[in-house]
């Protein structure tokens, strides 16, 4: 199992974990019904770490072509008008792959206005060509 973990404690959005969670490639049972890239599956909740500020924990599951071994890269989140936008970058083609790897990404986000966030927009982004697929998640 490939495991890549990095901590960025000097940013307002430390990526706690980026891990490939499957040991064998994942295959969709009905690939003809899958729109690729697959939109991220995202959950989020507020919490206050001991001695720390109010923080938004974001967890995402990403389905990526298993022929591309590179981990996704989390771009710096953008907060505007109660919406936090997070882009997950990786190199993909627009053809639906035969198999995928499943990646788990967890990050903590904080800012002076973090309590105003009500929605997270998450996108799988490919910069060549520029394409994306997104998910809207409401924060309880």
Q: Which string of DSSP letters, residue by residue, matches 16-65?
A: EEEEE--SS-B--SSGGG--SSPPPEEEEEEE--TTS--EEEEEEEEEEE
Mean pLDDT value of segment 78-83: 96
pLDDT value, residue 36: 81
pLDDT for the residue 140: 81
pLDDT tens column, 113-125:
999 999 999 998 8
> pLDDT digits over 20-56, tens only?
999 998 998 888 888 888 889 999 999 999 989 999 9
With tokens 């394409």, the residue in question is 131
CB atoms within 10 A of CB 119: 14
* Alpha-carbon gap, residue 86 to 32, rounded angstroms: 27
């Amino acid at each position: 199992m490939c495991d890549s973990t990095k901590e960025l404690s000097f940013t307002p959005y430390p990526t706690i974990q980026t891990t490939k969670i499957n040991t064998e490639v994942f295959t969709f049972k009905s690939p003809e019904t899958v729109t690729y890239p697959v939109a991220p599956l995202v959950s989020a909740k507020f919490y206050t770490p001991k001695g720390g500020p109010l923080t938004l924990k974001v967890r995402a599951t990403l389905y990526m072509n298993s022929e591309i071994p590179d981990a996704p890269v989390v771009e710096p989140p953008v907060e505007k008008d109660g919406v936090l936008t997070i882009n997950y970058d990786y190199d993909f083609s627009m053809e639906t792959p035969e198999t995928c790897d499943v990646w788990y990404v967890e990050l903590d986000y904080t800012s002076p206005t973090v309590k105003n966030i009500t929605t997270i927009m998450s996108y799988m982004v490919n910069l060549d060509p520029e394409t994306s697929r997104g998910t809207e998640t409401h924060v309880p």
